[in-house]
Every structure is written in C-alpha cells, then in structure tokens.
Chain A
Amino acid sequence: MNRKIKIVLCLLAVVTGAVGLWQLAPRLLEQRGLYFGEQVYQAETEERTSLLPIQYAGSQVCSQCHQAQHRGWQESEHLTVACEACHGPGQAHVEEGAKPSLDASREACGTCHNELAARPGAFPQIDLAQHNSQLACIACHNPMGTARQVSLVVPTSTATPSDTTPTPWPSGVIEPSGPPRIPHSLEGRSACMACHGSTGFKPFPADHAGRAGDLCQSCHRREGT
C-alpha cells in the first residue's frame, strides 16, 4: 500500500511537471526571463535609479534669487548658455548654500571661445593668446549681460544715455558686483575726463583708453542708486 502510493505520487509529479513545463514554461520565460522574480529586481532597480539625487538645478531655479543676472542673461548672447555651464552644478548651492564656482579667468572663457580648427566657423572665437591679452575678459565683457552687455565692449556709439543706461537693480535681490559706483556728487562734474583722464588726478584704469566721456555713466552710476 505505502509503496503503491509512492509510485503513484511519483508518476503524478512527473506528469504534472512535464505538462507544466510544456504549457507554462515558454510563456513564463518570455514574461519573466530565466531568473525567478527578475522583473521585480528590475522594477526595484528602476525605482532606486530614479531616486538618485540631482546636482544640476537649471537656470530657471537660479532666477528666483539672482533676478538681475537672470534678466541680463536673458537679453545677452549667452542666453543659450545655462548658468550652470559657467558656475558648475548649483543644487548644493540652492539647498545648502554651498559656494558655486566663480571662475572669471581668461581660460574659463577660452573653454568655449578659444579659436580651434574643429570649432564651427560661425561660432565667435578669439585667439586667447592675442585678444587683449593683458586683461581679464570680464573687464570688457559681462558674461551675464546686465550693465555691460556681453558684446557691449567699449560703447563706440554716442547713443543717448537712455539707450545704454541699465535699469536699476530691483530691491531685495543680491547686488551684483558691477563696475564701481561714483562716490561723489555729479553736480558741476559732468566733464569726467577732466579729473579721470590719464592726466587727471584720479586717472581711470588703462583698460578705459578710448572710452568717451559721455559714456561713463552707462557703466558707472551714483552710489546708492
């Protein structure tokens, strides 16, 4: 009796196993792969990967606090260049106040603008070793537009001040370190060159050569305004 049951059971197991494999296995294999529960591990990996932290916040986020830079940038040639392309990843800066990178060296601009044969001809390029080699790029170009537009170098036209006078920084935002403010009254001092020309008693820096007297205030504004 015991022996009979064993034999029957064995047969039963073999038959169900065979039928099961024949009927079910191909479908299950196709659905699930070779390993049991593979789909589950995959779903879990998808989930885990999707929850990794981000580092690059996006220019839109920067605009919430740096409105002046953002506004200038939007009107500049650098509009297509994300803030974080120049300042590095900003999520830690936004969340924990970590310092973003602030590299104003000539080499930093040269990463994109140094003249290379492989760069498309239409892209504006300069020879880093030749182009005003004594000065930092930001003495003449403002990468984020604002007071000195990226390509507003030395304002050559004698445009009316209203064309070139930048709009004041909105209150409550971080003051950008633009050109130094004028610490004195302007009353009776419209001829800036009299005192700030190269022979005056407070000569302007050497990079100012060629800047016309009527354009000083497109970059320098009265202190407190």
Chain B
Amino acid sequence: MKVSRRKFLRMSVQTLGGGIVLYVASPAILRAALQEEATGTPAAELTREEHSWGFAIDVRRCIGCHKCVQACKLENGVPLEPEYRRTWVERYEISEDGAVFVDSVSWGQDGPESIYPNAKRNGHESAKSFFVPKLCNQCENPPCVQVCPVSATFKARNGVILVDGRRCIGCKYCIVACPYGARFLNPETRVAEKCTWCYHRITRGLLPACVQVCPVGARVFGDMKDPESPVRRLIREEMTQVLKSALGTKPKVYYAGLQEGVR
C-alpha cells in the first residue's frame, strides 16, 4: 500500500484527535450506558451539593441495649457472629484510681449476650461506667481510601466512604489503616466491609437503621447544610468533640458528653 506523506499526516492527526476525544468522552458514554440499566435514585440525591451528612452521638443517653447493632446487622446482612460488626457499643469503666477498662459485647444470633456484671477487676473498684457507640466516621481525609491499591474504596459524592465489592481484592490494607477499627473482612464475600451510614436508606430519604431504632435518641443523623437538622442542633447546643482529632482524619461523627480517655 502506498500512502502519500500528506495523506499519512492527515490520517495520523485524525487518529490522534479521535483518541483524545474518546478518552475525554468515554466516562460520560459509559455512565450513560450504565444508567440505562440501573433505574431509581435520582442522581441529585447522591451528590454532595444536595446534602452533606453528619452524625452525632449523645453518650449520656446511651443505655447499651444493642438494638442499633441488631438493626445494623439485619438491615445490612452483616454476619451474625459477634466478631463481625459495622457498628458496636463499648462499655467503659473507670475506677477510682483512674484505671480504664473497656469491653464490648456484641449482638449475635440470640440477642445481646446479657452479661455486663458490675465490674470489680483486679481490685479496682469501678467509679463510673458508661456506654460509647462507635461506627465509621466517614472521615473527610480517609486513610483507608489512601491505602487501597485498587481504588475499590472511595469517597462518594455525598461524603460517605463506600467499598466497591467487585473491585476489592481483600488485601486488608484498609482494615489496618483505619484508626477507628471500623472495618472488617466479610468471611463470606472475602471483601472489606464497613458502615455506610445506611447509604441505601439515606439516599431514599430514610434514617440509618441504627438511628431509627435507638430508643433514647442517643444517635442523631442529619444534613449538615440544614441549620435546623437534629445533628446541627446538637452540635450547636452541646459541647462536642470527635475521636482522635490529632490524627487529622477529620471525622464526621461528633460525640456529646464524651469522657476524656475515650478513644
């Protein structure tokens, strides 16, 4: 085949240009194709421009009933064995001489293990004790996202950190990287799993399951952009703090009434 120089040059410029156009446009094309099969949630609900979610916990109200842990497991299909959990409740006991004991029962097949004897450990007399619910903080600077080698975990447009179970290779880097211990490896799917603030509920305008069943209003959820949302009100009216603020992860779960020493 014989090609003149002029024709060859024109062809190569066209190819190059076409390539660039395709590279720039392909995500849009792919997205349009995908949106055709998946129906439902309007995209606006998912974007950050629409909502910026926040979570608050009033530690002074928690009664440690574990209804939140139960609801989370049943809502999200978390394995029922006690060692797997997306949210959990820790019991702190602080003795007269300042020693701190932490334990956490979990909700299993048969309800919460109803232990919780009033402690007296190694001769330490418990002076005060209280419950602290924990869950994923959906950090503004998430270490788990940084370490993922396959970009399976990422910050969704409404600020929640999600895991793409199809891309996750189960390497557990993120589990180690999370300073709050919020992640675990699902034994059935072999992918990393964590709390999503019930992404499928909040994008439908419902509350996360744990918030919905909390009998004493210790868990509060809402839009940080709405000054009248319950979460903004709690943060405005109470003294709140976040966990391990020194790490610079910028968590989005605010705690009211938290005792020093809780991490």
Interface residues of A (CB under 8 A from B): 5, 9, 12, 16, 20, 32-56, 58, 78, 80-82, 84-85, 88-89, 107, 110-112, 114, 116-120, 123
B157 contacts A46, CB within 8 Å? yes
Tell me whether B60 is interfacial, beta carbon within 8 Å: yes
Q: Which residue of A lies closest to B215 (CB)?
A: A81
Bound together, the chains give a CA A89 to CA B111 distance in angstroms of: 14
Given the complex, which residues of A lie within 8 Å of B114, measured CB to CB? 107, 110-111, 114
B61 contacts A84, CB within 8 Å? no
Interface residues of B (CB under 8 A from A): 5, 8, 12, 16, 20, 23, 26-27, 30-31, 34-35, 38, 40-41, 45-46, 60-67, 70-71, 74-76, 91-93, 111-112, 114, 116, 118-119, 126, 129-131, 151, 154, 156-157, 162, 164, 166-167, 196, 199-201, 203-204, 206, 209, 212-217
Bound together, the chains give a CA A34 to CA B146 distance in angstroms of: 12
Given the complex, which residues of B lie within 8 Å of A117, measured CB to CB? 93, 118-119, 126, 129
Task: Using known A-B contacts A5-B5, A5-B8, determine if residue A51 contacts B67 with beta carbons closer than 8 Å.
Answer: no
Bound together, the chains give a CA A49 to CA B193 distance in angstroms of: 12
Task: Using known A-B contacts A39-B27, A40-B34, A51-B200, determine if residue A82 contacts B116 with beta carbons closer than 8 Å.
Answer: no
CB < 8 Å neighbour of B201 from A39, A45, A54, A89:
A54
Task: Using known A-B contacts A34-B151, A43-B34, A54-B204, determine if residue A85 contacts B156 with beta carbons closer than 8 Å.
Answer: no
B164 contacts A42, CB within 8 Å? yes
B61 contacts A82, CB within 8 Å? no
Chosen A-B contacts, 30 in total, with CB atoms closer than 8 Å, are A5-B5, A9-B8, A33-B151, A38-B154, A42-B154, A42-B162, A43-B31, A43-B34, A45-B166, A47-B35, A47-B38, A47-B46, A50-B200, A50-B204, A54-B200, A55-B209, A56-B201, A56-B209, A56-B213, A89-B75, A111-B65, A111-B67, A111-B114, A116-B116, A116-B118, A117-B93, A119-B63, A120-B60, A120-B61, A120-B130
A118 contacts B111, CB within 8 Å? no
Bound together, the chains give a CA A78 to CA B30 distance in angstroms of: 50
Given the complex, which residues of A lie within 8 Å of B41, measured CB to CB? 47, 50-51
A56 contacts B75, CB within 8 Å? yes
Bound together, the chains give a CA A140 to CA B122 distance in angstroms of: 41
Bound together, the chains give a CA A20 to CA B116 distance in angstroms of: 64
A47 contacts B34, CB within 8 Å? yes
Given the complex, which residues of A lie within 8 Å of B162, measured CB to CB? 42, 45-46, 49
Bound together, the chains give a CA A213 to CA B229 distance in angstroms of: 50
Bound together, the chains give a CA A120 to CA B65 distance in angstroms of: 12
Given the complex, which residues of A lie within 8 Å of B130, measured CB to CB? 118, 120
CB < 8 Å neighbour of A44 from B23, B34, B40, B67:
B34
A interface, by DSSP: helix, strand, loop or mixed?
Answer: helix
Q: A47-B40, A89-B75 are in contact. List 6 more A-B contacts (CB 8 A).
A: A53-B200, A56-B74, A82-B213, A116-B116, A116-B118, A120-B130
A88 contacts B74, CB within 8 Å? yes
Bound together, the chains give a CA A53 to CA B12 distance in angstroms of: 51
Q: Which of A38, A48, A80 has the most CB of B within 10 A?
A: A48
Task: Kindly provide the distance from the CB of B154 to the nearest chain A CB, expressed in whole angstroms.
Answer: 5
Given the complex, which residues of B lie within 8 Å of A45, measured CB to CB? 154, 156, 162, 164, 166
